[in-house]
Amino acid sequence: MRAPAIEVRAVTRHFRQSTGLFTAARSVRAVDGVSFSVPTGSCFGIVGESGCGKSTLARLILGLHPPTGGEIVVEGQSLQAMDRRARARLIQPVFQDPFSSLNPRRRIRDIVGLPLAAQGTNPAQRDRQVDAMLERVGLSAEMGGRLPAQLSGGQRQRVAIARALVLRPRIVVCDEPTSALDVSVQAQILNLLAELRRDFGLTLVFISHNLAVVEHVCDEVAVMYLGRIVERAPTDTLFRAPAHPYTRALLASVLTPEPGLGIPDVGLGDSYPDPANIPPGCRFHPRCPIAEAGCSERDPSPRALDGREVACHLV
């Protein structure tokens, strides 16, 4: 069994949210007791509805937010104990929107070379490494003199990937890296990430709403709901036989190209989960089609089941 590149141990991240001048601030439990490990060289997917805590968890793994509680260990070292330079050499992000994540006033060569400059690399060596990385992600060195606005969306995302990899980190966190791109370009970026993962021995954390993409690229998938992981399983297992009722609803919500089927009804009702108003007991029970009386009283802990972990009283 491969050693873990990332270990997330009972991590929480709570925020204070003010809703008005004369109202008390509310506590938002964006991530609320999450634990998992990611084997070195694997791709770990995180899925769930908007607001479930996926992106907050990504920022915790990147060290952009300190956890309220718990610990994140990266290659045997506490993430909170690392200095910023050491963390940058080890783990890097690729964000959702390749335009807003790039400085529109800086040339591509400067954008990609910024992590090297922050590490104190001399200019001549920096330029050589930037040109080599641009070529590696499918861009010419000549594009280094252009501005982001002069590139297509797919080219800008290749620049973002080049910037993430120019320090040769061992872990990359991808937060919806293809959702802002056309479908044909999405496939190119996914193939590029797969090649880079293989060639550089990368460990990927891949966050997405697109379940088809997750099924294609990930080795293991965690399903989040209101700050918790409700199911975690190898990708083939989860997509072939989902166990948690929320996972089943997510997979049932996927649109198909077959004419006449319309939008699927997954039976979750019109209510939307509120991380500032988490229900007692199982937090999914108000929308769960199989909930029983005890589900509103007891909060289920994750338990092993047929090679996966599931947090449900009734499975």
pLDDT, tens only, 141-181: 999 999 999 999 999 999 999 999 999 999 999 999 988 78
Tell me what pLDDT residue 3 has.
80
Question: What does DSSP assign to residue 34?
Answer: E
CATH code for position 85: 3.40.50.300
Separation between Cα atoms, residue 5 and residue 76, nearest integer Å: 8
Tell me what pLDDT residue 61 has.
96
Query: What sign does the CA torsion over 260, 263, 268, 271 have?
Result: negative
The answer to whether position 265 is within a domain reads yes
pLDDT bucket at 92, cuts 50 / 70 / 90: very high
pLDDT digits (tens, 9 = 90+) for 33-62: 999 999 999 999 999 988 899 999 999 999
Domain, as residue range, for 151: 4-310
pLDDT digits (tens, 9 = 90+) for 96-145: 887 888 999 999 999 999 999 999 999 999 999 999 999 999 999 999 99
The total domain count for the chain is 1
Tell me what pLDDT residue 99 has.
80
Tell me what pLDDT residue 21 has.
67
φ, ψ for residue 218 (rounded to 5)? -100, 150
Tell me what pLDDT residue 59 has.
95
The answer to whether position 214 is within a domain reads yes
Residue with tokens 């968890």: 57
Note if the pTM is more than 0.85: yes
Tell me what pLDDT residue 2 has.
72
Tell me the average pLDDT of the chain: 90
The answer to whether position 315 is within a domain reads no
Tell me what pLDDT residue 157 has.
94
Query: Could you give the residue ranges of the DSSP H alpha helices within the chain?
Result: 54-62, 84-90, 108-118, 123-136, 153-165, 183-200, 211-217, 235-240, 245-252
Tell me what pLDDT residue 262 has.
56
Tell me what pLDDT residue 82 has.
93
